[in-house]
Structure 1
Amino acid sequence: MTRILPVAALATAFALGGGWLLEAPRVTPTGIALPGAAAAQEASSEASSDEAPEIIEMVKGDADAPVEIVEYASFTCPHCARFSNEVLPQIEENYIKTGKVKLVYRDVYFDKYGMWAAMVARCGGPEKFFGISDMIYETQSSWVKAGSDQGIADELRKIGLMAGIGKEKLDACMNDGAKLKALVEWYQENATRDDISATPSFIIDGKPYSNMSYDDFAEVLDEHYEAAQ
């Protein structure tokens, strides 16, 4: 389980210009600029509250399923990757596809690379989000070791292109400073309200749970499903 950066520290880092958290690589002849703190702050200061970007809840499964899992995870968290690659497929097969459970995925940010990955995953909208997320988690051990900010940015960009996102749209998503700021604020609100201190963390029908094996998940989900009948 990975401990996350306290919300107050994250907010301070953003307010001070991001530093290690939000600083982005520059444009190169073969690369692209990713959103930095200055761009995010400039975009947000120019927009009114009514124009703030909408943050969409990413939901897998039947919206009316009787049991709800809210997953808090970061794309750079190895434990989150393990859950996504090994445990979630079994939950999906036995609980989500059967209409018993729905999964709500909520981003957690404790480094800039996780934020960049989230920008790519969300670029395709709800229709592509979980497919792109799967690709990001499946290849996490390689793209996080790309060796430089620009290398990691390029690897994430390749994932977006492989998922069928057009180059212009992907570039726009990855340079959307206003969306970045909205996502940070959304994360802060969620993590504070649900007292999230580590990833992955889960809220099942309003009750907090830490990471578990599939067998333990199945036991908990069966209990909640029976209680909902």
Structure 2
Amino acid sequence: MAKRRKKSTKSTSEKRGTNWLLIGGLTIGGVVILFALLYLALQEPQTQTLAEYCESNTENCVVLGAQDAPVTLVEVSDFGCPHCRDFHQNTAPGIKDTYVDNDQVKWVFVPYALRAETVPAANAAMCAAEQDKYYEFAETLFNQATEQALTRDGFLVAANEIGLDEEAFTACLIDGRYNNIIGDNQDAARSARVSGTPTFFVNDQVMRGAQPFSEFQRVFASYLNS
């Protein structure tokens, strides 16, 4: 009897050991699967670049320069952004004169607004683009006093300075013709992981903030001299 009990106890112990091994294996396997799922969930999905977005939605963006330029500069700016103002006052003229006007850089603008208050300014710039004056309007607006630049009076002053047909421009302003497009551009910028302005995409490189002209020269040269 004693031998049978001993054998039975040993068998039970072996079964318990096997069960614990099975449970342990299942637990470890579950943890591995969980971490694998979390890893996949956290991976950034492949998204369309803003350059590709603008190529397939030409009415949503504005292009300045030669279509076949070797370098593409995509800009996302907001008319109420002080760093964007700094860029346009200090760096943009050099980029246009040195690179865009010499067919080395194609400059693609994505009309954009960080907040609701600046949507009318982005819409106004698109209204100016109807008359092929987006860049001129943007530069004029960025050089206005901040408190005026985001008002309808500011838009009309800029339009007058660059010689727009004010009747057509005003009609475009009033009906908010491009507000929906600006909303689409906001979604596209968000998908491209734009989190602030100004943000620039130079071919496959990202540049953030009001970088000096020398930094743009360096990045452009890496493509132009390759």
Q: TM-score, normalised by structure 1?
A: 0.66
The alpha-carbon distance between structure 1 residues 178 and 166, as it changes in their structure 2 partners (threshold 3 A), is closer
Q: Any idea what SS the aligned residue of 1:127 has?
A: coil
Residues 112 and 185, structure 2, Cα contact 8 Å, conserved in 1: no
Partner of 2:132: 127
Partner of 1:62: 66
Q: Any idea what SS the aligned residue of 2:108 has?
A: strand
Partner of 1:162: 161
One-letter amino acid matched to 2:171: A
Distance (Å, rounded) in 2 between the aligned partners of 1:112 and 1:143: 17
Kindly tell me the number of residue pairs found equivalent between the two proteins: 168
Distance (Å, rounded) in 2 between the aligned partners of 1:224 and 1:126: 32
1:179-218 maps to which residues of 2 (within 5 A)?
A: 179-188=178-187, 190-211=188-209, 212-218=211-217
The structure with the greater share of residues assigned to helix is 2
Higher alpha-carbon Rg: 2
Q: Any idea what SS the aligned residue of 1:102 has?
A: strand
Distance (Å, rounded) in 2 between the aligned partners of 1:110 and 1:209: 18
Q: CA deviation at 1:80?
A: 0.5
Distance (Å, rounded) in 2 between the aligned partners of 1:92 and 1:165: 21
1:11-90 maps to which residues of 2 (within 5 A)?
A: 55-90=59-94
Q: CA deviation at 1:118?
A: 1.6
Structure 1: which 4+ aligned runs deviate by more than 4 Å?
Answer: none
Distance (Å, rounded) in 2 between the aligned partners of 1:122 and 1:179: 7
Q: CA deviation at 1:112?
A: 3.3
Q: CA deviation at 1:166?
A: 3.2
Q: CA deviation at 1:54?
A: 7.5
Partner of 2:144: 139
Q: Is the aligned partner of 1:172 residue 2:171?
A: yes
Q: Which has the higher contact order (CA 8 A, sep 6+)?
A: 1
Question: Pairwise CA RMSD of aligned residues?
Answer: 2.2
The alpha-carbon distance between structure 1 residues 220 and 167, as it changes in their structure 2 partners (threshold 3 A), is closer
One-letter amino acid matched to 1:218: Q
The alpha-carbon distance between structure 1 residues 162 and 57, as it changes in their structure 2 partners (threshold 3 A), is same
Q: TM-score, normalised by structure 2?
A: 0.67
Structure 2: any 5+ residue segments left out of the alignment?
Answer: 1-56
Q: Is the aligned partner of 1:225 residue 2:221?
A: no
Residues 72 and 108, structure 2, Cα contact 8 Å, conserved in 1: yes
Q: Any idea what SS the aligned residue of 2:180 has?
A: helix
Q: Percent identity?
A: 23
Structure 1: any 5+ residue segments left out of the alignment?
Answer: 1-52, 147-151
